[in-house]
Amino acid sequence: MTVETYMSKKVISINEEETIERALDIFKKYNFSYIPVVDDMNRFLGVVSEKDVLGIENWKANIKSIISSDYIKVCMETPKSDMIKIFLENPRFSIIYVVDRKGILVGLVTRNDILKLLASGDIFFNNNTLFDENISNIFNNPYLKKLLNCLHEGVIVVDNNTKVIFANRAYSRILGVQPHKVLNRFLSEIEPEAKIIQVLKTGVPMFEQTINIKSLGTIIVANITPLKMDEKIIGAISTFSDITEIISIANQLEKATFLNDFLAKELKEDTPLPESFKGIIGSSKKLKKELVIAARVAKTDSSVLILGESGTGKELVAKAIHDSSSRRDKPFVKINCAAVPDNLIESELFGYEDGAFTGAKKGGKIGKIEQADGGTLFLDEIGDMPLFMQPKLLRFLQEKEFEKVGGIKTQRVDVRIIAATNRDLEEMVKNKQFREDLFYRVNVFTINLPPLRERRIDIVSLIKHYTKVYNDKYEKNTDFSKECLEVFLKYEWPGNIRELKNVIEHAIVMSDDSIITLDKLPRYFKNLSDKQDEKLPVPPTKIKKLNDIIKDVEKQAIIKALDISGQNKSRAIELLGISRRTFYKKMKEYNIQ
């Protein structure tokens, strides 16, 4: 049998005359890692990789200039067994390009196709040198083992006496059993009900078998195929995937879709909001729509993800959801994932046992998760959760169970999760900075808080609200001049409501008159030329240790940046050109409130 039967024709190739810009479009659209390049007769010339393309500065350049010769190509007539051998011997390639006798590109074969091919059984008994008639010898082949161990799917092979002659790494990952515990043992003894035994007996393959392994709480879907030699069954192979997570996500999605539809029907502009939402000011349609959803979701126990730029009210909405839920009498606990240093985040979340690490408090510590038992845990800035913590958090979200750092006892808690971020989580998932499974787990329900510049109508009510709040607080009776209101309405408010609130407080504190004029507003409200006198503070002339001088300057620079940005941290971070994590670290170090 030749390669042709196993070939996918879904190839998008580009001509050697095309530009790099076009290759980039294809990469973006189809998520490929390589694109074949052909000449004007469709003859295969080579491939370009996304990496090659990204490294090029001149995007208008010709694709011809970066064709790589680092690829594998076979002919349509190549026997399937040879192709398998090529894959086995070149583990870094995931694709083989297939051409016809004239060199014309006709399709491709992927590494995944190989698994299907192996599972089909007949391949082992072609007339070739790679495989042996003895089934044990076949699976002793180091290349074959390597390939099967690379697979995400679990693989187990038995001979006709049900003796296990091979189990790959994914087998033990999915089922939690080390291969050496099953190798050379008879399945008829250790698992007499196994479907693979039925396949051995009947010789009839079983496809897409869903098997619930209750003892592990794992659901797998398996394809089981008999391995035959001259019509005689000499063994069977089962390949399977863990679909527990997929099923649970599908269930959640179904629930969320149902809920979404339900909410969409209920969604009316005049829907009254619960009491706990009254502190959220704004009457724009954009905000109201999100608040109505939030109020409805509050009644359920679903996880909620609140998205929005810094200062748009994510925490305020999270608290309102908690306060109108059945958990309102239990704690609302917040953790800011960006503000906690990486090495402390696990113990902050899960707590630690006595003596868990040097410097640990005597008697141990209760983590945020335990503090929130019965109530709500607000995971602020979840996009900044370090990658190493993400699987641990995921496990907790799935099982509602955790162990303290340094502890062995598994604890169970009943906590509702509300997460928030101003980062683009979907993009982070694509860039492998945020785990996809965790993303789906927290993103059961999304509330999108619009920035203030997209709902300018709310600026007026917010000014009114906070003018009253700060007039009461500072026992004043001031109001903003028409000019002030005009600039407020024109301004982009990058720091959103937090910035607006700070500007109002600042102006009210600074003003002794009944009307607040433009000069009482922060400088950035005036034109840019005014900004030129903004200079970073100069270090004092008295001789201090260099380190102390640097610290002074850093502290002053942070205070200044916060001042210029109207206490908007994201903007201050941007101005300072440092990472969010460094910013929070320094704020803590210099005790800046």
Ligand X SMILES: Nc1ncnc2c1ncn2[C@@H]1O[C@H](COP(=O)(O)OP(=O)(O)OP(=O)(O)O)[C@@H](O)[C@H]1O
Q: What CA–CA distance (Å, rounded) separates 207 from 47?
A: 36
310 binds ligand X (CB under 6 A): yes
The 3 state secondary structure assigned to 22-43 is HHHHHHHHHCCCEEEEECCCCE
Spatial contact of 502 and 566, defined as CB atoms under 8 Å apart = yes
Which residues are 47's β-sheet partners?
36, 68
Site string for ligand X, 346-385 (x = CB under 6 A): ----------------------------------x-----
460 binds ligand X (CB under 6 A): no
Binding ligand X (rule: CB under 6 A), the pick from 226, 311, 375, 451 is 311
- Residue list 543-582, contact with ligand X (CB under 6 A): 569
Q: Min. distance of Cβ 138 from ligand X in angstroms?
A: 58
DSSP string, 461-515: HHHHHHHHHHHHHTT---EE-HHHHHHHHHS--TTHHHHHHHHHHHHHHH--SSE
Half-sphere exposure for 47 (CA within 13 Å, toward CB): 22
3 state DSSP class of 400: coil
Residue nearer to ligand X on the CB measure, 107 or 282: 282
Contact segment (CB under 6 A) with ligand X among 15-23, 105-113, 201-209, 278-286 equals: 278-286
Q: Which of 310, 313, 275 is nearest to 295 (CA)?
A: 275
324 binds ligand X (CB under 6 A): no
Contact segment (CB under 6 A) with ligand X among 314-322, 437-445, 480-488, 544-552 equals: 314-322
280 binds ligand X (CB under 6 A): yes
Q: Which residue is nearest to ligand X (CB)?
A: 313
Binding ligand X (rule: CB under 6 A), the pick from 36, 121, 308, 566 is 308
498 binds ligand X (CB under 6 A): yes
422 binds ligand X (CB under 6 A): yes
Q: Min. distance of Cβ 299 from ligand X in angstroms?
A: 21
494 binds ligand X (CB under 6 A): no
Binding ligand X (rule: CB under 6 A), the pick from 24, 76, 213, 281 is 281
The type of residue at 56 is: I
Residue nearer to ligand X on the CB measure, 153 or 499: 499
501 binds ligand X (CB under 6 A): yes
> What is the β-pairing status of strands 232-242 and 154-159?
antiparallel
Spatial contact of 119 and 196, defined as CB atoms under 8 Å apart = no
Q: What CA–CA distance (Å, rounded) separates 166 from 180?
A: 9
CB atoms within 10 A of CB 268: 9
Residue nearer to ligand X on the CB measure, 311 or 494: 311
Binding ligand X (rule: CB under 6 A), the pick from 155, 497, 504, 521 is 497
Where along the sequence are the contacts to ligand X (CB under 6 A)?
A: 280-282, 308, 310-316, 380, 420, 422, 497-498, 501, 569
